[in-house]
A and B are shown apart, each in its own frame.
Chain A
C-alpha cells in the first residue's frame, strides 16, 4: 500500500493500525518468540516424559520390561490391557470409582447450588462464620478423619458401599463447590434477580429456568473440580471399602505379589486412570482458566 497523505479519519486510523501491527511484529522478533516456545516446550517435555514412560511400559510384556531397556516397545503388545478388561476384579474397580465419583458430583452440586446462592445474595446471622467453617473443612487432612469415618459408617451399616465414599468426599467437595459457585454467582448482577421477581417469577422457577442457565459455565467448571478431587483421592476411598466398592486406586496395590511386581499391568492400569481425566478436561477446556481462579478474576 502506498503511503499517501491521509484525507479522511478512516484512512488515518487504518494507517495507524497498520504501523502499530508492524511495530508489534518487530518488537516480538523471531528470536524472542523462539525462546518462549523453547522454554515452554522444555516444560511440556518435563510434564510428558513420565507419562510417556508409563505408556511405553504398558505396551510391553513383563519379561521385556525387565529384560531389555528400550525407548519404545520392541514387541508391541496389548496383553496388559486385555488382562485388565477380562478380569472382573480389575475392571469393576473402574466401575466402582466412577460410581462413587458420579454420586458425589450429583450430591455436592445439588446442595451446593442453593447454598452458594444464599452466600452470594443474602446477609444472615452467622454467614461469615459459616463460610469460614466451610473452608476449614477444605483444610482438614483426610488422615484425621480416617478412624472416625470408619467407625461412623460401620455403625450405620454403610461400610463398603459406594454411597459411603460419596458422602465422605462431600467433606471437602461441598465447601469447594460453594466456594467456586459463589464466585461465579456474584458476577451475575443482582438486577437480574430483581427483574425476574418483578416479572412474577417465583424463586424456584427463577432459579432453575433463568439463573442456572446464566452460570452454566461456572457449573461445568465446578463439576470438573468435583470430579477431579473425588477421582484422585485415595486414603478415604480405600479405608471405607473392602471388596464390593473397592476403587481402582486400591486394587492397583495388588500388582505387587510374592513373585515380584507385575509392572506391565500396573502401567496399563495407570494409563486407564488418566483417560477419564482427559475426557473431562476436554469438555471444559474453554472455561478452565477462569475456573481455576474460582470465578474470581
Chain B
C-alpha cells in the first residue's frame, strides 16, 4: 500500500508514545544510570564507568547461566518448530472438530505461567503425580529434585507442552490462507505429498514461522516462572536461567550496579539475536525474489 507522507500522524501516535515512554524509557534510563555507578546510599555514589560490565561478563556463574539459556532456547526451538508444523498439518480444516481442536490446543497458552509450573509439579512428583509415579512403575528412579538430567528433560517437556500450540496455531493460519487452486494444480501435476509440502505449503509458512520463531526465542530467553515453580532452579543450579539469576541478584541481594549492568547485557543479547535472525531471513527472501523464485 502506498502511504501518504504526513507528519500530522504524530498526533495519533502521541498518547501511545507518552504511555510507553513512561513504562519503558524512564525505567531503562534508571537501569543505565545504575549500571555505571556504585550506589552506597541515597547520597553517596561513585561513577564507575564500565567496571560493572567487565565484572559481569567475567562472572563464571552468569556465563554458565547464559550457556544453559542458549542450550535451552535452541533445544526447545528444535523440537517445537517441526512438531508445531506437523500438528498444523494434522488439524481438521472445518466443522465442529476444527473449533474443538483449536480450543483444546490453545488451552496451555492461557494458563498463568506459574500455574503451568504448578501443574507440572503436581504431574511429575514421585509420590502424587501421574507421570512421576508412572515412570517409577516402569523401573526408572525418576526424580527432578535430585537428578539434573531428569530436571532438564522435564523442563523441556513442560515448555514443549506449553508453547508448541503457538507454533501450531501460527502454521495452521498460514496453511488456511493457501488458495485451493494451488492444490488443484499440484493434483494435475500428480505431485507427491512431500512435493506439495516442500513447494506449496512450506513457502507459504515462511512468514508465520519467522514470527513464531522470533516470539518463541524471545519468550524462552525470558523464561522465569515455570522453572522457578517446578525446580526452583535446581538441583544445584542446573536449571537456573538468566531471568532467575538476575532476579536473585537484583531483588534478593540488592546489588544495584552489577545487576543493572547484567540487565543491559541480557537485553542487548536478545536484541542482537533477534536482529541477526530477522535480517538473515529478510535477505534470504530478497535473494529468492531476485532469482525470480517464490
A-B contact list, 8 entries, CB within 8 Å? A36-B90, A118-B9, A120-B1, A124-B9, A228-B109, A232-B110, A273-B111, A273-B115
Q: Are B20 and A143 interface neighbours, CB within 8 A?
A: no
In the complex the two chains form, is B207's CB within 8 Å of A148's CB?
Answer: no
* Pair A140/B267 contact, Cβ less than 8 Å: yes
List the B side residues contacting A145 at CB < 8 Å. 27-28, 31
Question: Which B residues touch A263, using CB under 8 A?
Answer: 122, 128
Q: Are B129 and A190 in contact (CB under 8 A)?
A: no
Q: Does A25 contact B (CB under 8 A)?
A: no
A121 vs B13: C-alpha distance when bound (angstroms): 12
Asked whether, in the complex, the Cβ of B270 is within 8 Å of the Cβ of A139, the reply is: yes
With known contacts A107-B19, A115-B16, A124-B10, A231–B169 Cβ distance under 8 A: no
CB closest residue in chain A, given B221 = A141
Contact: B247 with A143, CB < 8 Å? yes
Given A120-B3, A145-B28, 13 additional A-B pairs, CB 8 A = A51-B107, A53-B122, A69-B128, A117-B12, A120-B1, A143-B263, A147-B250, A148-B26, A228-B110, A235-B225, A267-B122, A289-B173, A293-B177
Q: What distance in Å separates the Cβ of A224 from its nearest Cβ neighbour in chain B?
A: 9
Indicate if the CB atoms of A288 and B115 lie closer than 8 Å: no
Instruction: Give the residues in chain A near B247, CB-CB below 8 Å.
Output: 143, 146, 235
The smallest C-beta distance from B208 to any residue of chain A, in angstroms, reads 5
Could you list which residues of chain A lie within 8 angstroms of chain B, going by C-beta atoms? 36, 39-40, 43-44, 46-51, 53-54, 57, 65-66, 69, 71, 107, 111-112, 114-115, 117-125, 127, 130, 134, 136-149, 151-152, 167-168, 170-171, 174-175, 178, 186, 190, 228, 231-235, 239, 248-249, 252-253, 263, 266-267, 269-270, 273-274, 276-278, 280-282, 285-286, 288-294, 296-297
Q: Is the CB of A232 within 8 A of B112?
A: yes
B binding-site residues for A, Cβ under 8 Å? 1, 3-10, 12-13, 15-17, 19-20, 22-24, 26-28, 30-31, 34, 86-87, 90-91, 99, 101-115, 118-120, 122-123, 127-131, 133, 161, 165-166, 169-170, 172-174, 176-177, 207-208, 211, 218, 221-222, 224-225, 242-243, 246-247, 250-251, 256, 259-260, 263-264, 266-267, 270-271, 274
A54 to B118, CA, bound (A): 9
